[in-house]
A = this chain, B = another copy of it.
């Protein structure tokens, strides 16, 4: 059932930014197939939209729903109610546990391919201090200390763990794609499969290098 209320609900739900009444009005009254009330071309006013949002929130309250449409400076958006913070927090905690940041990933990649490797060597490649990241990776058990280098100061050497293999679904380190393999995958120019025609013509003009190593 398409009615103004559900349309507004759908739009606010899917939007990746908060929407103002004005923006909502524009979307709904857009000349190309605008919303019609009982087959009537009446324009929807901001007040109509405001009423619909209030009505939706009333329904959510009645139903004991866990979310509401809230209004902040930039506009309207969905949010879960504060009393569920504990549960939503658990969700995010679960998820963040498993995540790696870009710097962490780069450091992990260097360790994976260059192991055993010391912190100074990693820093020489990355050009930044990696203390914090090494600590995180150790905590996540993705790397471990495997010994000491014979070089000056005998710095600790790091290598990857079984957890690391598990994380990436590898049976052994020998399964790691080689940098040359990624070169092969990446060697293609930056043109992406965006438009059908572009791709097809591009591909047509391409001489495959299948046997060409």
A: residues with CB less than 8 A from B are 1-3, 5-7, 9-11, 13-15, 17, 19, 23, 26-28, 30, 33, 59, 63-67, 78, 80-81, 83-84, 86-88, 90-92, 94-95, 98-104, 123, 128-129, 131-136, 138-139, 145-148, 156, 169-171, 174-175, 177, 181, 184-188, 192-194, 196, 199-200, 202-203, 206, 208-210
Chain B residues with CB below 8 A from A156, complex form: 177, 181
Number of copies: 2
20 A-B residue contacts at CB 8 Å?
Answer: A2-B83, A2-B84, A3-B64, A5-B64, A6-B65, A7-B84, A9-B65, A9-B66, A14-B88, A19-B91, A27-B91, A59-B63, A101-B200, A103-B199, A129-B206, A129-B210, A132-B193, A135-B186, A136-B193, A156-B177
Please give 6 more A-B residue pairs, beta carbons under 8 A apart, in addition to A14-B84, A27-B91, A30-B90.
A9-B65, A10-B66, A10-B81, A102-B200, A132-B188, A132-B203
Chain B proximity of A61: nearest CB distance (Å): 10
Chain B residues with CB below 8 A from A145, complex form: 177
Does A26 contact B94, Cβ atoms closer than 8 Å?
yes
Chain B proximity of A129: nearest CB distance (Å): 3
Closest 7 CB pairs of A and B: A129-B208, A10-B66, A10-B84, A6-B66, A9-B66, A14-B88, A136-B193
| Of listed A64, A104, A132, residue having the most chain B CB within 10 A | A132
